[in-house]
Structure 1
Amino acid sequence: MASIIERTLASGEKRYQVIIRRKGYPTETASFPRKTDAKRWAKTIEAAMIENRHFKTAQSRKHTLEELIDRYTEEVLPTKGRHGKAQQTQLMWWKTELGPYLLCDLTAAMITTCRDKLQAEVTYRKRKRSPSTVNRYLAALSHAFSIAIKEWEWISDNPVAKIRKPKEPQGRIRFLDKQEIQRLLNACHCQPNRFLYTAVALALSTGMRQGEILNLRWKDIDFNRKQLVLHKTKNKERRTVPLASMTQQVLRELAAESHPEHGLVFAEEKADRPANFRKSWEKALREADIRDFRFHDLRHTAASHMAMNKATVSEIAAVLGHKTFQMVKRYAHLSEAHTRSVVESMNERMFETEEEEDEPESVATCGEVLWRSAA
């Protein structure tokens, strides 16, 4: 129940002190120059207490964004794996910009101003941040707010959720054609680095990410079942990857000249850590006359050739390890010819039933298609 006490200061000015005591809540006090303001505040706080909203409101007056980020960095970031370092950098930017502000004072307008600054700033690389990078900064802060809402009960609203996010351009699709695949494999085979050819062949034939390849261990490869198992994936789910015959062959050849006791398939000579073949990769690209191409684009190449080989979106997603079809839909246009052939076949069978039906064409695996291309 709220009580309002009228007090007269030494200057003769009147002040109205509000005291609210309610079971289960700390005593709340505030002072106002007008009685109407005191009554309005008391009514708001009591209503929040009744609806169980007051605790979070009170906590937001006690903690700053700096305190939130510090706690998040200490308790949550260590669980984020390899992404934690990037998120820490992003959160430090927010800490510099808005750290001293109380959580209750942070508004969507303030976040919007910072969003615009993120877009306009020139980084140490002497270029502006891309829309996707700005969105990663916003996502890092948004998740910190979400933890503060759900687990710590410091705040009740997420101001980041109220603002517009920069529109990201459609993801790039750079993939190699058959001739480029042949030139690249030949150039990789000629490099002194003994890992490069096998790593590139594995990426082309399976669509595996570079990190998945570098962290692959010999114990994860089952030559009898013609597959390998990935335990450390981007979406943190175990994934089984089929191996084409030629892919098995190059892996067996590498095993014959490697040291399986090191554990990692692509390990440095004297340490159980991933090998570095960046310079050899760049040299192979130059020798193959392939431009504007990254190692990750080998994954796009695998997916694109699967699409052109009549694989469905769900099949491509399963091979690449995507949880949703959103990322895979970018390859859909490559299978438009297949879609047209399906419609034509359906019409032929519907309206020309007298014709003999063709035998269904089997769909080759990703590895088979690419090795056939490079043959």
Structure 2
Amino acid sequence: MAYIRPLANGNFRADVRLKGIVKNKTFPTESLAQAWADNIENGIKTILNLDQAQLMALSEDEICALGGEGLFKQLGIDLFAIRHQAKLEAINALSKKELLQLSVQEIERMGGAELFIKAGKRIRYKTFRDVCDEYLSRWGKKDYQGQMQRVDYWCQFFGDRIMTDIDIFDIREHIDDLIDEGQRATTINRKKAVLSSVYKFALSRGYVDENLVRSVVVDDDTKRRDRVLSEAERKRLLKASRESHWDKLYLLVLMAMTTGARKGELMNLRWNDVNFKDSSAFLGDTKNGTSRELYLAPVVMTELKRHQEVGTGLIFPSVELPEQPMDFRKAWRNVLKAANIADRDILNPDGSVKLEKFTFHCLRHGFCSALSDSGKEINQIAKLAGHKSIQTTMRYIHQGRDQKRQIVNELAQAFNL
């Protein structure tokens, strides 16, 4: 059953209780609350009426439209197991001896380590953290504590991942994030060298087939990105974000575009950080250790009110773990694809970059560049972006050829030339 009730602040709260599922959300209007509740109810009823063949045939978009994989799990439907039924049957047919004799390649061919774990089968596999522990236990050089800290840095990102499930795109994506943050190439290469050392050890022990890290090159020319969206790209990105299966991606993109806030700052914002009276948000824990205020445009406030909730919860929470920020990487990749914006560098035959990839951090770059293009002073841009150093701001600002030509022409006119 769905219940809609008015709140003291003028909003409406929708509560859905059906088949053991309890969901609730706050909306600025009763009609929005009712539409959301109806959609959840219809999704639950539809899911429960699907047979095995229909469940197997569902596309990712259809799953998202019905409420997402999390809703299926709450209803006791394991889509993962259903989709891999044939492979699970093959795994279950193996004896204990056969399972332990499987090579890494055979495990991957049969569906990967995750599928074996799902079937409750014991195989020889190693997580990244397992390999790192073994690597450190055999560390015979000086500065053990320092190396342990350097290895732990990578464990924060890959620790619980199966070693063979980490691919070059995972490594490249993290390196790109470091580049986009403005870290120097020498700093990134030092971090990369530690990861490469771990992979070299894993290769010697037969845990991986190659050292993927060696294929990821960081040059001084790539230590920062100048990628900004054209007007047409910006419109396509906003349209695709509005149509995303994650209903808050449009809000997140709007906030990033118009505030220049970092991804981590936005993802850790809570509802009690937002001041709806003066259209602002308070950032209490930023990357450079200082607090600052975000000024929110009317379009952002409209979208915030559409999702508004009461309390101290995250604005962008994970569906399954509400106290953790949403992992929106898949939604972001889908939106870039829908907007026809490259999510990977497109290279020329000589290896140079023909079309640079667009990352979420590039929205921050676009914010600073747009302020610069509109004539704002660099100290103003630095304050709005939360930069401690003007030099940091300078990395985000560039001028196109037309602007440079205009500056030169204006100078010539000032000289009466």
Q: So what's the TM-score if we normalise by structure 2? A: 0.45
Larger radius of gyration: 1
